[in-house]
Structure 1
Amino acid sequence: MSLITLLTDFGDFYPGVMKGVILKINPHARIIDLSHSVSPQNVKEGAFLLLSAAPYFPDGTIHVAVVDPTVGTERKALMIEAGNQILIGPDNGLLIPAARKLGDFKVYEILIEAESRTFHGRDVFAVAAGR
């Protein structure tokens, strides 16, 4: 059973949609909301919260973090194996502080399909976490 955390600046509604996508792919996933109240587009705040929370989760946890003022641009989507955990989110500095704290890490690019222009949280990051 996968343990997946979610951290976003989305407010209430959109994280529920992300959970639906994850559970459709992986019905046995356990999903924990870290926060969906990050100040809008405040990558530094999101990075601090992820950095503060990730070390307290068990090995194998998948953290999906989405605070993404650059959605729809050419920025990359990342999956980072750090310590014995996985971080998934945009390549905008959100994930790296937590990755460094968790230990040695490897960075992989997640390929983004052309159809997904505005909601990478649902169409890219939730799908990657569910798999």
Structure 2
Amino acid sequence: MRPVIAFLSDFGSRDHYVATMKGVMLGICPDVTFVDITHEIAPHDVLDGALELCASYKFFPAGTIFLAVIDPGVGSARRG
């Protein structure tokens, strides 16, 4: 069975961030199948992301990799 990555984020769907992450993952594992749970989590809302993940994970096959990215720094100045 091909590996499955179920992906959710607060990135939105208007820019390249989701596609960029998928491109990197495809470079590592060309046979991967992606399932987008959602990329419309409210910005910085970890609880909303957790609720979406809890509502959906049980419907995926065993061995699915779940990638959840809620980034509190997207669109803001970061200290480095």
How big is the alpha-carbon RMSD for the aligned residues of Structure 1 and Structure 2?
A: 1.9
Counterpart of 2:65 in structure 1 is 62
User: Which segments of 5 or more consecutive residues in structure 1 lack a partner in the other structure?
Assistant: 74-116, 118-131
Counterpart of 2:45 in structure 1 is 42
Counterpart of 2:29 in structure 1 is 26
The one-letter amino acid paired with 1:6 is F
The one-letter amino acid paired with 2:4 is L
Q: What SS does the corresponding residue of 2:50 show, helix, strand or coil?
A: helix
Shift, 1:52, TM fit: 0.5
TM-score normalised to structure 1 length: 0.52
Counterpart of 1:5 in structure 2 is 6
TM-score normalised to structure 2 length: 0.84
User: Which segments of 5 or more consecutive residues in structure 2 lack a partner in the other structure?
Assistant: none
1:15 to 3, 8, 18: 18
Identity of aligned residues (%): 41
Of structures 1 and 2, the one scoring higher in RCO (CA 8 A, sep 6+) is: 2
Cα offsets for 1:25-76 (capped at 9, x unmatched): 0000000100000000000000000011001101010000001326878xxx
Count of aligned residue pairs for this structure pair? 74
Distance 1:36 1:70 in 2: 16
